[in-house]
Amino acid sequence: MTVDAMRGGTARQAGVALPVVLVLLAMAVMLGVAGLRSSLTSERLAGNLKASVQAGMAAEAAAATGWAALNGPGDIAVETSPEVLESLTWEAFTDPSHFQGEAVTFGDCAAPLRCAYRYVEEASRHRLIVAMGVVMEGDERVLASSEPVRVAVVFSRLAERFSRYALLADGEVLAGGEAATEGRVHANAPRDEADRVVMPEIDVSPPEAAETLTLETDEHGQPYCRFEASGDLAGRVYHCAGRLEIGETTHFHNATLIARGDIHLGGEVGREAPVDVAVLSGGDIYIEGPRTARGWFMSAGDTELAVGATLEGAIIAHGDIHQPSGTVVRHLVGGPGLPHAPREKRLLSWGR
């Protein structure tokens, strides 16, 4: 083989090697780019998963805050539908216009997390705490949002009834022509069995830690107690083993009064807001006028308002309710402590 032939063969080999090297280099670059993209995608997926988990945890934390802050059925007054709750976005959830103008309550979540909860009632009468959480970028952009957390709660039957009715009687509600009532009124008599409301039981026995009022004897030899305290009574419970007379100079709030016999209310009870007084009688209740009584009143017998009396709260009577002309009833719901009901609220379910 001549030198020229050898040189020609070497040149041809060099010409073939260059494209092969270039192809291999291109493949290596493509594999590197693909690996980089896969790594970035995995990182983004991991970041999205982390943000989603954080948003869910924030929603759970907000739901727990809402549960702890829930005082009574009166806190859950906004009605909504299952359709609204099933299609919630963070923007819709925090928009008051979707919830009868009620502002959302934000939880204690640190940036970049935000969380909030609402108290709502479905048309089916299910009471819910609904909570959501998000991970934010700045103040505007939502990076990840949780599914709504729904916490179903129920209250004692006694509290439920007080929250729904201004006047509820197992007998009749006897109202005069000039009597004014703001709120739902219901009387079981005369009604068909299907239309009757189940009345909560009334227990006027002294609960634990109740303060026993001193018994006296009236001119007819009947036992009675006189109550004349004023001011904030710090949620205490007072019990009378006979008839209870609440004097005209009395003006108190934040207390529960229980009597085995009748109760005659001559003073001022409660404050403007919220309702924090409960009065339970094993007999009848008489609310004298002109007086303003703010509280929840429950009698095993009748309840009667005198002309000029104003009631802001609710009445449940196992007998009749007498509301003559010149009286005013406004339904207000608060959270007074009810005796023999240690668990006013109970958790039914917690989930998404």
Q: In three state form, how does the secondary structure of 161-203 look?
A: HHHHCCEEECCCEEECCCCEEECCEEECCCCCHHHCCCCCCCC
Phi, psi of 306 (to 5 degrees): -80, 160
Encoded tokens for 254: 């934040």
Residue 192, CB half-sphere, CA atoms under 13 Å: how many? 2
pLDDT in tens, 131-189: 999 999 877 789 999 999 999 998 888 888 888 899 999 999 999 888 899 999 999 99
- Tens digit of pLDDT for each residue in 48-70? 778 889 999 999 999 999 999 98
d(CA 128, CA 154): 9
pLDDT higher for 297 or 157?
297
Nearest to 239 by CA among 199, 285, 278, 268: 278
Mean pLDDT score, 11-26: 67
Q: What is the pTM of this model?
A: 0.68
Give the model confidence (pLDDT) of 240-279 as tens digits: 999 999 999 999 999 999 999 999 999 889 987 778 999 9
Q: Please report the pLDDT score of residue 95 as a whole number.
A: 93
How far apart (Å, rounded) are the C-alpha atoms in residues 280 and 299?
Answer: 6
State how far the Cα of 66 lies from the Cα of 89, in Å rounded to an integer.
Answer: 19
- What does the pLDDT read at residue 71? 81
Per-residue tokens: 302: 């009748």
- Structure token pair of residue 337: 């402590």
Neighbour count for residue 156 (Cβ, 10 Å): 19
Enumerate residues 6+ apart whose C-beta is below 8 A from 122.
Answer: 79, 80, 81, 82, 85, 128
